[in-house]
A = this chain, B = another copy of it.
Amino acid sequence: MDAKGYEISPWELRWRGLDLEALHRTESTFAVSNGHIGIRGSFEEGEPRGLAGTYLNGFFEQRELPYAEAGYGYPEDGQTVVNVTDGNIIRLLIGDEPLDMRYGDAPHHERVLDFRSGTLRRTTEWVSPTGRRIRIRSERLVSFSSRAVAAIRYEVEPLDGELEVVLQSDLLANEPLPTKSDDPRVAAALDRPLVADFAAASGYRAVLAHHTRASNLYMAAGMDHEIELPADARCSIETEEDLARLTVAVDIPAGKSLCLTKYLAYGWSARRSVPALRAQVDGALAGAKETGWKTLLERQRAYLDKFWAVADVEIEGDAELQQAVRFGLFHVLQAGARGESRAIPAKGLTGPGYDGHAFWDTETYVLPVLTYTLPDSARDALRWRHTTLDKAKARAQQLGQQGAAFPWRSINGQECSGYWPAGTAAFHVGADVAAATSRYLAATGDTEFETEFGLEILVETARLWGSLGHHNSEGEFRIDGVTGPDEYTAIADNNVFTNLMAQQNLIDAATLCSKHPDLARDLGVDDEETARWRDAAEHMRLPYDDALGVHQQSDGFTHHADWDFEATPQDTYPLLLNYPYFDLYRKRVVKQADLVMALYLRGDAFTDEQKLANFLYYESITVRDSSLSACVQSVVASEVGDLQLAYDYLAEAALTDLHDLHANVSNGLHIASLAGTWLGCVAGFGGMRDYNGNITFAPRIPEQLNRLAFHMRIRGSCVSVEIRQHSATYTLTSGNSIPLSHHGEPFTLDETPVTHDIPEPPQIPRIRQPHGRAPTRRG
């Protein structure tokens, strides 16, 4: 067991030995999910446990947002993801001793999250306080093939002769949760959010139905079981409002074991009745039982085989990074696979952090990965945004703007940000959605999505920029008083990232309207409007400091006072928990890639010299207090030619959750950072860019690595890229030939693999970070 607790292995995450302190954290890393249902990696026996968590994507409770001083247009209601009815619980009594790993002894204990089987396995040998010895084996999955279904295989084996056991398999609603923290990134605690509507049980099957008090969402959870029992076993099932329990009392003879298969099904709706939801859950249970455990396992593996065939990133020369990259991709898949017109939350369905909200992270970090590996899931996530357009248009209107203002944070599309300078003012989210839409359209050629959804998204987001911005007397188009990705500066004029993303948004909208003039007219767009968009894009203000030769993150930024990094103790990071916003806002300290993000996503707007100068400048003041930063810094470090720094940042992004670098993995994984690991490999070392839909590469790997290989789906074709120290090989593994570029040299990839030499990286000055904030040097 290494120091961090996880063993390094290419295709699995394994933790050997018992560490109760680590449970809260490993419940997040060992979570299983299909994007619709998520179950934290808690022990079946219910306790010890860090934080109970079973989540249904989109199922939330509403609560009034309080304000010390209210203001016009402040969101009135917040949304918090609900820990729904827990079906994970299988309690075990040995004689009258409950299996509880806080007591007795565990000579062997290990858990494995298997990236290829898509299951979490557990093996525990436990010696009870009175000395009885048993082995528990369990395996659980949330099915990728049947989105409403989860299943657990649970096996008890006595190791010291015949054993009298009682098994209790539960559905449990309204579990108590730990109380609230002062950290604003932690979720609001909900006290007993579920109101009981219905409970029924017979045989091995039980169903509980509940609804939420305020948001009025309805859900049902069901369980069914398979178990082979001797004739003298006693078995009963019963329900209360918040509990359904199958109880099995049985003697297990020496040398034998008891094996229980538990099928779980979940359904929720804002519209369907309790009987309809019950029927839905009963039906899913019947289907799952008919399918059977073995076939569920096979389908799970088949789904993952297909995923890895396109999504896998192979790294030779750094086994820990290899594992971390696959861990990240596995969880990105778990977050996004079967969301199906629901949001992909910042934490996926692995914990209650950020109240279960989705942010711009989804479009900017997660969707690029899905777009090029699992495009249907990217499409579904964009469809979710489209379903919220009405809310976004109403919000824009409330804010006195035209078009659509997507929320900064939300579960159902309603703005839930209770602090507008770092919420509503971060209007770039609209351009991020637009960029993800353009990217998806270019990468897939999905004309159906383009005409039905994409055009409207682009038009309404462009309209927002049209009304948010204005021309000054010199004819520049300004966007004032907004907040960019860096939350340590807020309500600033002409944030370069925002302005460049808005520029692309305006151009893409105008272009698509020209392509579909009739549809554009249906949306009320005329030539005057598109001309205004093009003009605004052309004259977009990008503040630049001539004296320093760098862009200003926003107007005046480079004239602000230095943050005193030397006087800032390392244990006061993240700064937002230890310094007031007012002081952060007015000083040169950057929470996360902002101008540097623009260097990546809108690199076509900068010269190479500007990229280097800007990167040098902003690196020296960026503290990475956000998990969204390291991967982007890795990408740009690769581009400017500092491969060691790129490697360091990539490892930081990849290990964010495995090493708990932000000390909050217990509240859920950082899905964007995990997705960013793919970006670090593909856009960073692979140098992949997709400006205006043109796919280009500029690969270069650090000396510590021998080989990096990845794949991308592009317009129905599949391209494999294999990078070695001095050359890169491009292979078309399926589909039609495709125009690409290698370090600026265009070529067309057809059936014949192509190998190109990699030029030497440029000589560059030493890049420095703020005092104490350099990434850990790797390799």
Report A's interface with B, CB cutoff 8 A. 65-75, 78, 182, 184, 398-401, 417-425, 470, 472-473, 478, 480-482, 490-491, 493, 547, 555-556, 559-562, 576-583, 585-587
Contact = CB atoms under 8 A, between A and B. Distances in A.
Contacts of A74: 68
B472 A559 contact: yes
Contact of A67 (B66, B493, B556, B585): B66
B419 A68 contact: yes
A417 B67 CA distance: 11
B68 A580 contact: no
A5 B562 CA distance: 59
A478 B561 contact: yes
10 tightest A-B CB contacts, nearest first: A68-B418, A481-B586, A66-B66, A73-B580, A470-B561, A65-B68, A480-B586, A69-B419, A69-B418, A472-B559
Nearest to A70: B184
Contacts of A78: 68
A549 to B, nearest CB: 13
Contacts of A65: 68
Given A490-B491, A491-B585, A580-B400, A419 B71 contact: yes
A286 to B, nearest CB: 44
B72 A581 contact: yes
Contacts of A399: 580, 582-583
Q: How many copies of this chain does the complex contain? A: 2
Given A472-B559, A490-B491, A68 B71 contact: no
Contacts of A71: 184, 419, 576, 580-581
18 contacts: A68-B74, A69-B417, A69-B418, A69-B419, A69-B422, A69-B423, A71-B581, A72-B576, A72-B577, A72-B578, A398-B580, A425-B582, A473-B547, A478-B561, A480-B556, A481-B582, A493-B556, A555-B556
Contacts of A400: 579-580, 583
Contacts of A586: 480-482, 491, 493
A31 to B, nearest CB: 26
Given A470-B561, A490-B491, A559-B478, A581 B420 contact: yes
B184 A582 contact: no
A583 B401 CA distance: 9
Contacts of A481: 560, 582-583, 585-587
A718 to B, nearest CB: 44
Contacts of A75: 68
A336 to B, nearest CB: 26
A186 to B, nearest CB: 10
B72 A579 contact: yes
A363 to B, nearest CB: 22
Given A68-B419, A473-B547, A478-B560, 11 more contacts: A67-B67, A69-B417, A72-B580, A72-B581, A73-B581, A400-B579, A424-B580, A470-B561, A481-B582, A481-B587, A491-B586
Which of A481, A482, A562 has the largest count of B CB atoms less than 10 A from its CB? A481
Contacts of A66: 66-68
Nearest to A427: B582
A560 B417 contact: no
Which of A73, A75, A398 has the largest count of B CB atoms less than 10 A from its CB? A73
Contacts of A418: 67-69
A499 to B, nearest CB: 14
Contacts of A583: 399-401, 481
A66 B478 CA distance: 35
Given A478-B559, A478-B561, A560-B480, A69 B582 contact: no
A671 to B, nearest CB: 21
A567 to B, nearest CB: 10
Contacts of A578: 72
A69 B357 CA distance: 14
Contacts of A69: 184, 417-419, 422-423
A408 to B, nearest CB: 11
Contacts of A577: 72
Nearest to A476: B559
A403 to B, nearest CB: 14
Contacts of A401: 583
A734 to B, nearest CB: 48
A419 B68 CA distance: 7
A59 to B, nearest CB: 21
A422 B585 CA distance: 14
A415 to B, nearest CB: 11
A582 B405 CA distance: 13
A68 B422 CA distance: 13
Contacts of A582: 73, 399, 420, 424-425, 481, 491
Contacts of A493: 556, 559-560, 586
Which of A69, A480, A583 has the largest count of B CB atoms less than 10 A from its CB? A69
A422 B71 CA distance: 11
A420 B480 contact: no
A421 B419 CA distance: 11
Which of A74, A419, A480 has the largest count of B CB atoms less than 10 A from its CB? A480
A71 B575 CA distance: 11
Contacts of A490: 491
Contacts of A561: 470, 478, 480
Contacts of A424: 580, 582
Nearest to A577: B72
A390 B69 CA distance: 26
A67 B400 CA distance: 25
A327 to B, nearest CB: 31
Nearest to A470: B561
Contacts of A559: 472-473, 478, 480, 493
Contacts of A581: 71-73, 420
A581 B482 CA distance: 12
A73 to B, nearest CB: 4
A73 B584 CA distance: 12
Nearest to A581: B71
A623 to B, nearest CB: 15
Contacts of A73: 579-582
Nearest to A582: B425
Which of A472, A580, A582 has the largest count of B CB atoms less than 10 A from its CB? A582
